[in-house]
Amino acid sequence: MQLRNMALQKPAGYVLASILCSLGGFLFGIDTGIIGPVTVMEDFTQYVGNPTPTIHGLIVSSILIPAAVSSFFAGRVADALGRPRGIAIGSFAFGIGAALEGASMHIAMFIVGRIIEGIGEGLYLGMLMVYVCEISPPRNRGAFSMGPQLLTTLGLVTGFFTCYGTANVGSSLSWRLPFILLAGYSLVYSMAVLIWLPPSPRWLTLHGKTKEAEDTWERLGVPAADREKILEQYDATVVEPAIPDARGDNSAAHSTPVTVATPKSKKGELLDVFSSESRPRLFLAVFLMGMQQLSGIDGVLYYAPLLFQQAGLSSTESTFLASGVSAIVIFAVTIPATLCADKWGRRTQTIFGGLSMTATMFLMGSLYAADAVRPGAGAGRWVVIVCIYVFAVLYCISWAVGIKIYAAEIQPQRTRASATSIAHGSNWLTNFLVALVTPTLLAQSSYGAYFLFGACTLLTAAVCWVCMPETRGLSLGEIEQAFRDSGRGLSGLKKVGKVVQRKVLRRMPAAVDA
């Protein structure tokens, strides 16, 4: 009977809220999965006019600069309107842009749709991680924060196989239908967020709505022991109101601590992320999020059909199928990576993941440089095809897991939304560069792109070895205190690693029990 009751027990509210929030990653994944195959469909190339590699890159990357610009302001929108409203507005704009792409009458209209889609994407995507990070218990924060990434990989599978299914339609519907479906998904998601996603209790607390914050914590089902203390992260005071029970007894057993946020002056608020306290963490997050894209992952995802063509797969169907299989592999490995997100150290994932991806990229570049990859003959092309899959797997179990979580969790609470948005802006800008130059690099040199991306991952691993402190297993408050205790600048970041290591060692028995 007890097992039956456990099986029928409803998941905690924060679990359901995290899943709903993470579905935003599904939309992003679909767009990433369809844009590469769409741009090599015969009907689309005729519609565009057989674009050059540079124009091809511009079509794909036109979504990214608007996303970068809007992501810089996403934190302000999230702080002003709340996380759910910001996510809903962004996903609605994303859907409108996708609808314009699917209904475009000429290439200019298609590009306008990509731009509007990018504005929405930049607004909502960065907020997903912030929201999940703010409602998740510390011991589960890594796994839940990986939800958007997991759903992104599911979106990749959906996008690739949607194009695989429509490629032989024989009309412009072959490339229009994927965008029309994406628009429908986006608008439904926007409405669902507005209706069912509760506001962040931390956002409510920051805006002085302490009673609503307490009610939301209860609605989310987060245990009192797991509710992050924000006393050190805001100008706040804690009061212990006596809550009478049914007998009118005002005993301490029935009192709940309430954090009351003191209103913060808005003067200089926009520049808080560049204060001496916040600046080192902001710069570290911006660097990591930028280099995440310079690993070349979106070059692989956007242009998977081109990469497989270059490696010797000739037909459109075979390249689309190979791209779809790569998406399935990515999704499959992201599931255990998500479940183990809080078991692996962020620093370890980033450094060793970077070194492994470097080796994979250098191997592919070396094979092309040695002219060992030839269509229809030789083992070199199969080594490259396998390496493409291996690279995607390595990325998904390392940088995809840790970097986005890390960029959000190391920020001070009062600047977390803004700093995370700026870091995502860095991600979008470098993503634009990768999407723009990859077709040209592939056309000009068979190996240049691989050596470039490999060098970037090697540089990142070296920088992280020097100045990336570990944060796994700590609450946001403990991370904040570790940074405060360590001082400023690079020397401060080094000290944080030592402070955090001591905290982790002290917490090991408790973590095992939990």
Residue 61: predicted pLDDT: 87
Residue 20: predicted pLDDT: 92
Residue 401: predicted pLDDT: 73
Residue 510: predicted pLDDT: 43
- Structure tokens given for 405: 């979580």
Contact partners, residue 133, CB within 8 Å, separation at least 6 = 141, 145, 405, 408, 409, 416, 476
Query: What does DSSP assign to residue 446?
Result: S
Secondary structure (H, E, C), 36-90? HHHHCCHHHHHHHCCCCHHHHHHHHHCCHHHHHHHHHHHHHHHHHHCHHHHHHHH
C-beta of residue 112 within 8 angstroms of C-beta of residue 236? no
Residue 247 maps to a domain: no
Query: Which range marks the domain in which residue 488 is found?
Result: 476-507
Residues 347 and 488 in one domain: no
Residue 501: predicted pLDDT: 52
Quick one: which of 17, 61, 427 has its CA closest to 200?
Answer: 17
Residue 513 maps to a domain: no
Contact partners, residue 371, CB within 8 Å, separation at least 6 = none
Provide φ and ψ at 105, rounded to 5°.
-100, -15
Secondary structure (H, E, C), 285-352? HHHHHHHHHHCCHHHHHHCHHHHHHHCCCCCHHHHHHHHHHHHHHHHHHHHHHHHCCCCCCHHHHHHH
260 three-state secondary structure: strand
Residues 377 and 326 in one domain: yes
Residue 430 maps to a domain: yes
Residue 154 maps to a domain: yes
Residues 162 and 288 in one domain: yes
Residues 364 and 389 in one domain: yes
Residues 310 and 163 in one domain: yes
Residues 453 and 486 in one domain: no
Residue 337 amino acid letter:
A
Quick one: which of 315, 312, 305 has its CA closest to 159?
Answer: 305
Residue 139: predicted pLDDT: 67
C-beta of residue 401 within 8 angstroms of C-beta of residue 344? yes
Residues 448 and 481 in one domain: no
Residue 136 maps to a domain: yes
Contact partners, residue 57, CB within 8 Å, separation at least 6 = 435, 436, 437, 438, 439, 440
Rounded CA gap, 36 and 56, in Å?
Answer: 10
Residue 493: predicted pLDDT: 56
Residues 371 and 488 in one domain: no
**Helical axes 147-166 vs 107-135, angle rounded to 10°:** 150
Residue 219 maps to a domain: no
Residues 491 and 447 in one domain: no
Residue 225 maps to a domain: no
Residues 462 and 488 in one domain: no
Residues 350 and 422 in one domain: yes
Provide φ and ψ at 377, rounded to 5°.
-155, 150
Contact partners, residue 119, CB within 8 Å, separation at least 6 = 66, 67, 69, 70, 93, 97
Rounded CA gap, 379 and 168, in Å?
Answer: 31
- Structure tokens given for 306: 């081109």
Query: What does DSSP assign to residue 456?
Result: H
Residue 452: predicted pLDDT: 93
Residue 240: predicted pLDDT: 33
Domain count, the chain: 2
- Structure tokens given for 327: 């998406």
**Helical axes 448-467 vs 489-513, angle rounded to 10°:** 80
CATH number of the domain to which 48 belongs: 1.20.1250.20
**Helical axes 316-339 vs 380-397, angle rounded to 10°:** 30
Residue 341 maps to a domain: yes
Residue 375: predicted pLDDT: 66
Residue 231's alpha-carbon distances to 24, 202, 203, 257, in angstroms, are 31, 11, 14, 11
pTM: 0.73
One pLDDT digit (tens) per residue for the chain, 514 residues? 443 444 456 778 888 898 999 899 999 999 988 998 888 888 898 888 878 888 888 888 888 889 888 877 887 788 888 889 999 999 999 999 999 999 999 888 999 999 999 999 988 987 887 788 788 776 666 677 778 878 998 998 999 889 888 888 878 899 999 999 999 999 999 999 999 999 988 888 878 888 888 888 888 887 776 665 433 333 333 333 333 333 333 333 333 334 344 444 444 455 677 777 777 888 888 999 999 999 988 888 888 878 888 877 766 667 777 778 888 888 888 888 777 766 777 888 889 999 999 999 999 999 988 888 776 666 788 888 889 989 989 998 888 877 877 887 788 777 776 787 788 778 888 988 888 888 888 888 888 889 999 999 999 999 998 878 877 767 666 777 767 665 544 455 555 555 555 554 454 444 333 3
Rounded CA gap, 119 and 66, in Å?
Answer: 5
Q: How far is CA 491 from the centre of its chain?
A: 28
Contact partners, residue 481, CB within 8 Å, separation at least 6 = 232
Residues 311 and 390 in one domain: yes
